[in-house]
A = this chain, B = another copy of it.
Amino acid sequence: MPEARSVFFVSDGTGITAETLGHSLLTQFDLPANPVSLPFTNSPEAVDAAIERIEQASTSGLRPIVFSTIIDAGLRNRLRRVNAVIFDFFDTFIAPLESELGMESSHTIGRSHGIADPRAYGLRIDAMNYALSHDDGATVRHYAKADVILVGVSRSGKTPTCLYLALHYGIFAANYPLTDDDLLSGRLPEVLRPHRQKLYALNIRPERLAQIRAERRPGSRYAALRQCQYETTRAEGLFHQEKLPHSDTTTMSIEELAATIIQTCALPRRLY
């Protein structure tokens, strides 16, 4: 196993872009890394403090790796003094993009994860409030407003996916947990039928479901493998019969689920 490497994400804004870039690249290497984020590095003093911090992290002669998304040219130059390997995102891509677009970049800090557009911000909060008030079938009154309604047994991954869709894309996502009665009847609940075109089904392998439920209610009938097998099998039969688009959430991340649902249902992405 190679030695752990010090890794820094340096940004004059939130650091999210630097982290996304650096993390994506690092996952391509079997390398133990100690990542540190240095957001809001937006003044000469902050850059100097970052340089000091980075150079102190140099281990056994291995230079730290720095992923930077600093936009200000002066600060970027200042950071270059650091004794480390710098991967500079804007340095690399802004010039070719300027040339392709035939215009200069604005060099404005914090545009990508700032509050650039108050309308978009309001939309995302509305979508979050919608997800919260339509969580777990709490209310079924405003399904007409939903972009998508996730259907599945309890703990199949509906809530985090709804919240993620809301916070990231401004998508109005409700969720409906299948009840014992629904599973027994083997038919779509009455309340969902008018919204058939908006349904997306989530299912999960019973062993994983039992494990998740046991963390909430250990030793309960709810968490018993037998009960989980019954519910997931009945749910699968229902989804199949109703020909609902569906995903098995057992080994999918929330991001993968969200991207899959958006693509499958051709959902309107209100934020980028």
The chain A residues found within 8 Å of chain B, CB to CB, are 2, 5, 13-17, 19-21, 23-25, 27-31, 35, 37, 39-40, 63, 65, 69, 71, 85, 87, 89-90, 92-94, 96-97, 100-101, 103, 105-108, 110-116, 121-122, 124-126, 128, 132, 135, 159-160, 163-164, 167, 212, 215, 251-256, 258-260, 262-263, 269, 272
Contact = CB atoms under 8 A, between A and B. Distances in A.
Contacts of A215: 122, 126
A181 to B, nearest CB: 25
A29 B103 contact: yes
A101 B160 contact: no
A262 B112 CA distance: 19
Among A5, A97, A105, which residue has the most Cβ atoms of chain B within 10 A?
A97
A256 B93 contact: no
A48 B39 CA distance: 39
Contacts of A121: 253
A228 B44 CA distance: 38
Q: Can you list the 7 inter-chain pairs with the closest CB atoms, starting with the nearest?
A: A27-B111, A28-B105, A113-B255, A14-B259, A24-B112, A115-B253, A17-B24
A40 B263 contact: yes
Task: Give this chain's copy count.
Answer: 2
B272 A23 contact: yes
Contacts of A100: 63, 65, 85
Nearest to A15: B259
A13 to B, nearest CB: 8
A116 B160 contact: no
A200 to B, nearest CB: 16
Contact of A20 (B21, B85, B110, B164): B21
Contacts of A259: 13-16, 37, 39-40
A252 B115 contact: yes
A250 to B, nearest CB: 9
A128 B159 contact: yes
Contacts of A71: 28
Contacts of A272: 19, 23, 35
Nearest to A113: B255
A89 B17 CA distance: 13
B87 A97 contact: yes
Given A128-B159, A256-B14, A260-B40, A28 B111 contact: yes
Nearest to A108: B28
Contacts of A24: 17, 69, 89, 111-112
